[in-house]
Structure 1
């Protein structure tokens, strides 16, 4: 059985990665002042944050159209694939995975499997890359998802946002949390709740410097006793220089960890806003 690997644009893969590993990337729409854009197609990170600052209304995100999914699956079938494993961003952020699951029996003689990554951005991207490598080696969907489940159990992440207003307006946090964050001028540290998988406030720190230092403490505590190599990712919105500086400091402090730099594209940037930074980590996918 040949397995196609599909993901959405919030995995933030490079074109070289998706091309080399035959990964299908479905763009997620972003609506800015009534105009719909496709993330990664006609709306890139470099221009998005300028548009975000100039937008008259708060941007919103949508789902890929059902017809687009069906067209993709039909094409994959015609290309000789028997199955598609679709790795989507967390179901607590988007309903795209649920939509895919509902289409599982729509294409005759072609199986569709929806996999909830329970996260997003480049951390999800690492799961997608691992899945694609395994698929190219002939692994089954069951074997791939078993590996993804094992990797997903090792993942943790903390986001430091400059302002909670975007998350509040997008419905990801309560208005009360946004109000407190604005009044006290704090830099909230957020994470995915391990039980509900919703984005929740973890701590509120009085400056970005202190918030990043606290995130480093959490990272150090989490990786101290693990018996496997760690792959970590520093993620930024429109503050690349600050992210590069932080990653250099982290690499000097934790030389045994492999770090990479990634970004919040338009879909996730819509909710986190400008000035956000994050640190995510997992077991190195190459070690499993």
Structure 2
């Protein structure tokens, strides 16, 4: 556990309401978006929206589903009918509990897209990275079916290339840009570039959930637990999880996250940050406290929320993550990788060409 912090200084749920609520201007952004709405924006439930954010933005949310050990299917309603602490505490007390998550089907996507198309506005769907789920491919199939059924429909499918609250930060700014008058195509192009400026770093309490999901060998999880090894993870340019390093002890892992923040933060106080966890509020408090000690971050808005069951079942209780706008993640590529990216970009005419209306091609 991170070092103790004076609770009078930081209390995410009570004494620092800006931490657990939507950014102060989200409601205003949502109102402006609806006043001049020229596009329908659809997202999914895996972006770990803080209470009220999706509603205030006015975006439609497609929920994922998961099945518990008893075979009962649950809808991820962003904790409206379930308490996150109880959910993750149950995972702690009953490690044998197994959850199965499932991708949204093309049929379900088509149902949502068809309803949205009735308004006659262009549609943008922003979904969980292909590096973590096949759902984005189902959305692409549904978009193609919609174009066949309703020729001329303008619909864009964007792979967030990130996960969790990174999708929330991206959605907030996409709605802001829409309220400023960007067209659907301009929003798609804007988001296709902006997604690479969002960073996310997190650590886990144990390797157990990763081992249970087949992401690491059980033997590695056992050794990691005995040596108190804590991983620091992020996501790569395709949105897949990537290991950044191994730390001996939780405190060192948390400090590694703060160091990555210092190295990559964009220093734009007007843009919110996000801290999410799977019932690790004290560590989330510690991260926020450390961030506010950084120059220029004293009054930055920090959005706090709980990780959805869809992602939480794969990382287990005790995960904590920091997400923020920062430097261009593509600049970290090696020289040869940058050349390869440029070649792919020329081949596909930029962006996710296969996601744009009436186009086919390789994904960049």
Q: TM-score range by the shorter chain?
A: 0.7 to 0.9
Matches within 5 A, 1:72-221: 72-78=112-118, 80-107=119-146, 108-109=150-151, 110-175=153-218, 177-194=220-237, 197-221=239-263
Q: Give the drift of 1:175.
A: 4.4
Q: Report how many aligned residue pairs link the two structures.
A: 280
RMSD of aligned Cα (Å):
2.5
Cα distance in structure 2, aligned partners of 1:248 and 1:61: 34
Q: Does 1:18 align with 2:54?
A: yes
Query: What is the aligned counterpart of 2:73 among 31, 36, 40?
Result: 36
Report Cα offsets for 1:174-200 as digits up to 9, x if no partner.
Answer: 545434322322111111134x54212
For residues 98-120 of structure 1, give each alpha carbon's deviation from its aligned partner in whole angstroms, at most 9, with x where no partner exists: 10001113221433321011111
| 1:58 and 2:91 are equivalent in the alignment | no
Q: Summarize deviations over 1:230-280 as a string: whole Å, max 9, x none.
A: 643222111223312331222123443724123312111111111111122
* Structure with the largest fraction of strand: 1
Aligned to 2:333: none
Q: Deviations over 1:41-72 (max 9, x none)?
A: 65552432134333644212111233322221
Equivalent residue for 1:242? 283
Q: Residues of 1 paired with 2:159 and 2:220: CA distance? A: 27
Q: Is the 8 A contact 1:4 1:81 kept in 2?
A: no
Q: Contact between 1:44 and 1:265, CA under 8 Å: does it hold in 2?
A: no
Provide the rounded CA distance (Å) in 2 between the counterparts of 1:25 and 1:273: 24
Output the TM-score relative to the length of structure 2: 0.70
Do the aligned partners of 1:173 and 1:199 also contact (CA within 8 Å) in 2? no
Q: Name structure 1 gaps, 5 residues minimum.
A: none
- Distance in 2 between the 1:283 and 1:193 partners? 14
